[in-house]
């Protein structure tokens, strides 16, 4: 349970920041104390079922999107996946990946 609460909390925080929303604003929108939202985001507790729906609505996402943790991988796991992609990429794909990475660094 601890892993799920931590991942869900990180995901809520990520989506909240994407909406440029403060903890206080989100907490007020869903009718929750800011301290309780802070506990959720830090993985200290899981939200109640009715709050999951309120959070998703306030963040303008589907409930399933709150549980999309695929991109929340360790640095090593990301590197390993990228190396696998690069190893099998064509020259054209490598050039495209390179341009994309360089463009995002600037």
Q: Which residues contact 96 (CB under 8 A, 6 or more apart)?
A: none
| Alpha carbon distances (Å) from 87 to 81, 90, 96 | 10, 9, 14
Say if residue 1's pLDDT is above 70.
no
At 45-86, the pLDDT tens digits run 999 999 999 999 999 999 999 999 877 777 888 888 889 999
What angle, 0 to 180 degrees and rounded to 10, lies between the N-to-C axes of helices 49-58 and 23-30?
120
Q: What is the pLDDT of residue 62?
A: 95
User: pLDDT exceeding 70 applies to what percent of the chain?
Assistant: 98
Q: What is the pLDDT of residues 8-36, one digit of tens each?
A: 999 999 999 999 999 999 999 999 999 99
CB-based contact 1:46 (threshold 8 Å): yes
d(CA 52, CA 9): 11
Other C-beta atoms within 10 Å of 79: how many? 11
Helix, coil or strand: residue 20: coil
């Amino acid at each position: 349970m601890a892993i799920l609460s931590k991942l869900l909390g990180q995901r809520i925080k990520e989506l909240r920041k994407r909406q440029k929303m403060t903890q206080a604003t989100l907490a007020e929108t869903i009718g929750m104390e800011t301290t309780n939202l802070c506990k959720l985001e830090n993985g200290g507790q899981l939200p109640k079922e009715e709050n999951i729906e309120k959070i998703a609505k306030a963040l303008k996402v589907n409930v399933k999107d709150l549980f999309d943790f695929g991109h929340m991988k360790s640095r090593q796991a990301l590197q390993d996946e990228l190396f696998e992609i690069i190893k099998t990429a064509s020259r054209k794909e490598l050039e495209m990946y390179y341009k994309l990475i360089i463009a995002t660094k600037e």
